[in-house]
């Protein structure tokens, strides 16, 4: 079984989504189940409703799970196994206060050496501390594992001193709950961020202490750098999956981009289902990858092009395929749904005919054309059926020509003096002329 284990403590980061995608792909490739495990052990940081938000996003991206569990539901099992380790002499109660441990850290810092917990400290404050934690005994031998991206990684015993597995309130620590749950649900392979590399040997230590001999596969993904080259933080808007969706990027384009980051793919543009045939986690680059919004914009445009007119219309909150066709035309100069929505909003909003271009106003010409257009619309003139007929009829009625004709006509139809060719747009605009040809009340 493969798993994705998000914490409901904040917005989903693109790095988290990338890990979810890779776990899902491998599950599909190996015909294994895909588990979502909500890691809600940090009760002080959990945000109400974030779990539902995460699940909604995963569903939107087509990362459909076979099983859903909440880590907190296994607390009793975690405590039971912690007690088992104590009974086996592989874990112990530690009564050290936070102040005592902090003093030892400062002492180590002053002596310019790494802080290591000493098992002999465990009962020094037993008489004054009624709420001990539980620590698992540190490693006696080196712990190694093979990372599918980074290769073999070795951790010496001195790097793995005795660490806390149950807090003073009986809540399991991240590493203990994670290690136990990976056992309980028979996880076979784990893809996660490289910030978890130091957690992996601790989780292996826990599993071995519990007599679990299965060797799990691991792949730790390099960090994603911001466009400025520094680590992408949660303060970067583009790091938020919800923000990207809100900006009008398609889920399939985001998947395409995240899979291709630091990876050699057989095609430039692909869908999630395509990856099952060729994706290999071993091909992911070891070095960090830099976020490139321009690349994402390109891929988003390509995925929008793949949609038919009806699909495009639905994304633009319309059931009319003409709106979808019009939206696809704007892909010549736009790359997100938001940019296209802005173009359409401009077309369907009342027109500002007092705008000036190069110190020239077309207000008078706009009023002349507006009058004739309204007459043609009210009479349902046959000249409205195609652009050439419209143009010729309006020129004849208004006696306008050249720039004095085309600029005001463009303003009345699009609210702009520049843009796509009107003859390209008109076949779709003609269905909505009553809604389009309107003047702003302030004119």
Per the annotation, binding residues for ATP are 234
CA distance 320 to 156: 65
The rounded radius of gyration (Å) of the Cα atoms in the chain is 31
Which residue ranges are tagged as binding site?
A: 234
CA distance 163 to 165: 7
Q: Identify whether the C-beta of residue 338 lies closer than 8 Å to the C-beta of residue 300.
A: no
Task: List the structure tokens of 234.
Answer: 């949660």
Task: List the structure tokens of 37.
Answer: 């495990």
Q: Identify whether the C-beta of residue 210 lies closer than 8 Å to the C-beta of residue 85.
A: yes
Which among 233, 224, 228 is positioned nearest to 261, based on CA atoms?
224
Q: Identify whether the C-beta of residue 430 lies closer than 8 Å to the C-beta of residue 385.
A: yes
DSSP E strand boundaries for 80-228: 91-94, 133-136, 143-147, 151-155, 163-166, 189-193, 217-221, 224-225
Angle at the Cα of 300 from the Cα atoms of 296 and 305, rounded to 5 degrees: 150
Instruction: Tell me the DSSP string of 75-123.
Output: HHHHHHHHHHHHHTTSEEEE---HHHHHHHHHHHHHTT------GGGTT
Task: List the structure tokens of 415.
Answer: 């609210």
Strand (E) or helix (H) holding 356: strand 356-357
CA distances in angstroms from 76 to 166, 171, 173, listed in the order given: 12, 9, 13
DSSP E strand boundaries for 123-246: 133-136, 143-147, 151-155, 163-166, 189-193, 217-221, 224-225
């Amino acid at each position: 079984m493969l798993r994705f284990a998000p914490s409901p403590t904040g917005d989903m980061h693109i790095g988290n989504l990338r890990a979810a995608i890779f776990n899902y792909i491998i599950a599909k490739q190996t015909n294994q189940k895909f588990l979502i495990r909500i890691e809600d052990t940090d009760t002080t940081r959990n945000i109400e409703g974030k779990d539902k938000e995460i699940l909604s996003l995963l569903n939107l991206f087509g990362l459909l799970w076979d099983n859903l569990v909440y880590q907190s539901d296994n607390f009793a099992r975690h405590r039971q196994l912690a007690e088992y380790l104590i009974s086996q002499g592989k874990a112990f109660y530690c009564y050290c206060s936070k102040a005592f441990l902090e003093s030892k850290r400062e002492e180590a810092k002053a002596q310019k050496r790494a802080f290591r917990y000493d098992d002999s400290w465990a009962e020094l404050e037993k008489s004054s501390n009624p709420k001990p934690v539980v620590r698992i005994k540190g490693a006696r031998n080196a712990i190694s594992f093979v990372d599918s991206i980074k290769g073999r990684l070795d951790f010496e015993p001195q790097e793995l001193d005795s660490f806390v597995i149950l807090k003073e309130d009986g809540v399991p620590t991240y590493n203990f709950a994670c290690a136990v749950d990976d056992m309980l649900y028979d996880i076979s392979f784990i893809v996660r961020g490289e910030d978890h590399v130091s957690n992996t040997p601790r989780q292996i230590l826990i599993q071995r202490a519990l007599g679990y001999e299965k060797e799990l596969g691991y792949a730790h993904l390099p960090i994603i750098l911001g466009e400025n080259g520094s680590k992408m933080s949660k303060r970067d808007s583009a790091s938020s999956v919800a923000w990207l969706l809100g900006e009008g990027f398609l889920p399939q384009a985001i998947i395409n981009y995240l899979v291709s980051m630091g990876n050699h793919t057989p095609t430039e543009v692909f869908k999630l289902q395509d990856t099952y045939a060729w994706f290999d986690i071993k091909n992911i680059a070891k070095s960090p990858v830099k976020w490139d919004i321009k690349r994402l914009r390109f891929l988003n445009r390509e995925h929008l092009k793949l949609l038919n007119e009806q699909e495009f219309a639905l994304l633009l909150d319309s059931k009319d395929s003409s709106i979808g066709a019009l939206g696809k035309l704007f892909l010549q100069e736009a790359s997100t749904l938001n940019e296209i929505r802005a173009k359409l909003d401009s077309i369907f909003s009342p027109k500002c005919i007092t705008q000036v271009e190069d110190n020239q106003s077309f207000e008078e010409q706009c009023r002349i054309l507006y009058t004739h257009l309204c007459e043609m619309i009210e009479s349902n003139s046959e000249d409205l059926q195609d652009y050439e007929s419209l143009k010729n009829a309006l020129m004849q009625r208004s006696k306008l020509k050249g720039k004095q004709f085309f600029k005001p006509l463009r303003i009345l139809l699009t609210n702009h003096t520049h843009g796509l060719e009107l003859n390209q747009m008109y076949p779709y605009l003609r269905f909505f002329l009553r809604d389009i040809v309107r003047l702003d009340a302030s004119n």
